[in-house]
Amino acid sequence: MEQTLRKVFIGESADLPEKLGKTVVIGQKEIAIFKLENGSIKAIENRCPHKGGVLAEGILSGEYVFCPMHDRKISVENGRVQEPDDGCVKTYPVEVLEGHVFILIAE
């Protein structure tokens, strides 16, 4: 069965802080949005798989966010926790069209 993706507008690219997280709530989903130094925008589940730390409050370094609770390093590219720790968070596709930022959510 093919999944349908809904495009949800979350803001303007120029308004997103660089290297800082922003929390966005879409329905029951809480998503952390990050604008990387290279200008790309990534979206991941906003809770660390370890103890539920709010990832949007973590420190972003390159393509990794450090959980504010226990400093676990999580890739904003693929959602994987860096070894030797383990775990994973969901990632969400992002589209930027003429400066408008959209997250694609499965329905």
Strand order in the sheet with 59-61: 59-61, 64-66, 73-75
pLDDT by residue (tens digit) across 36-56?
999 999 999 999 888 888 999
pLDDT score, position 2: 65
Which residues in 1-107 belong to E strands, given as ranges? 5-12, 21-26, 29-35, 41-45, 59-61, 64-66, 73-75, 91-92, 94-97, 100-106
Q: Can you give the pLDDT of all 107 residues of the chain as single tens digits?
A: 567 889 999 999 999 988 889 999 998 999 999 999 999 999 999 998 888 889 999 999 999 999 988 888 999 999 999 988 888 999 999 999 999 999 999 87
Please indicate, yes or no, whether the overall pTM of this predicted structure exceeds 0.75: yes
Strand (E) or helix (H) holding 54: none
CATH of the domain at 98: 2.102.10.10
Q: Give how far the C-alpha of residue 46 lies from the chain's centroid of Cα atoms, to the nearest Å.
A: 7
Q: How many domains, the chain?
A: 1
Whole-angstrom distance, CA of residue 52 vs CA of residue 48: 5
User: Which residue segment(s) compose the domain that 97 sits in?
Assistant: 5-106
